[in-house]
Amino acid sequence: MKKLILILAVQITVFISVGYGDDYGGNEELKRIHETRTQALMDKLEVTPASSDKIQRPCKPVFTKESISGVTLHKSGTKDGYISGERLYFRHNGKTDAYIHIYYRNSAQEAQLELFEDLAGCTLPTEGLLLSYVKVPKGPGDLCIAGNVKPTHNKTLEECTPVVYFTRANIFVSVISDVPEISAMEIARKVDTILAGSMEQQGKHSPEPR
């Protein structure tokens, strides 16, 4: 299980860590391959493009360290006067047991594309990539993707998956748990409830679930 968690978790960081950025380091072939993998995963999961309508990002953090029980560290970043992202960590004895990354973008389409581009940026071959994720019909957010694992001990995939990714309007969220005591899906649902409440207060609305 730990090996599987590591393989799935690394997918959220590889694309960023190699520093390709929007121009993929000027490597057009790499860009083409990445775009093909991204589209292949969206097609496999039968996901249609989200709305490109602009949505304003929050002016201040939505979360605090106290927002979710067990969180021991909270960080946030800004860009152009608006919040660009937030990170929450569950740390115990110097080890991060789980973490939440929240990215605020300019539209639902940007959030959706970032989710799939991050997943497609892993080192798995395309065939393995397409088998690694499933769409969760009644998951959190407008669109929810979970790591495809084999359920154990009479539990469902939702209860066992160590990684959950979802979008709500212009927000992309990833939740990764490295310990069975912390349910990635349960945490994702709590995060989504807080985001939905914040959007309702601001008079914003998510598009229809896809």
Give per-residue pLDDT as tens, 33-72.
889 999 999 999 999 999 999 999 999 999 999 999 999 9
The structural domains of the chain, with segments of one domain joined by +, span 2-201
10-residue mean pLDDT profile of the chain (210 residues): values are: 45 35 69 92 95 96 96 96 97 94 97 95 91 95 95 87 97 96 96 96 60
Instruction: Kindly give, in sequence order, each residue whose CB lies less than 8 Å from that of residue 207, ignoring residues fewer than 6 positions away.
Output: 50, 51, 108, 142, 169
DSSP 49-74: -----B-PPPSS-S--TTSSTT--EE
Contact criterion met (CB below 8 Å) for 210 and 111: no
Query: If residue 75 lies in a helix (H) or strand (E), which one and from where to where?
Result: strand 73-79
pLDDT of residue 16: 33
Specify the pTM.
0.84
CA–CA gap between residue 52 and residue 50 (Å, rounded): 7
How far is C-alpha 31 from the geometric centre of its chain's CA atoms? 21
pLDDT of residue 204: 61
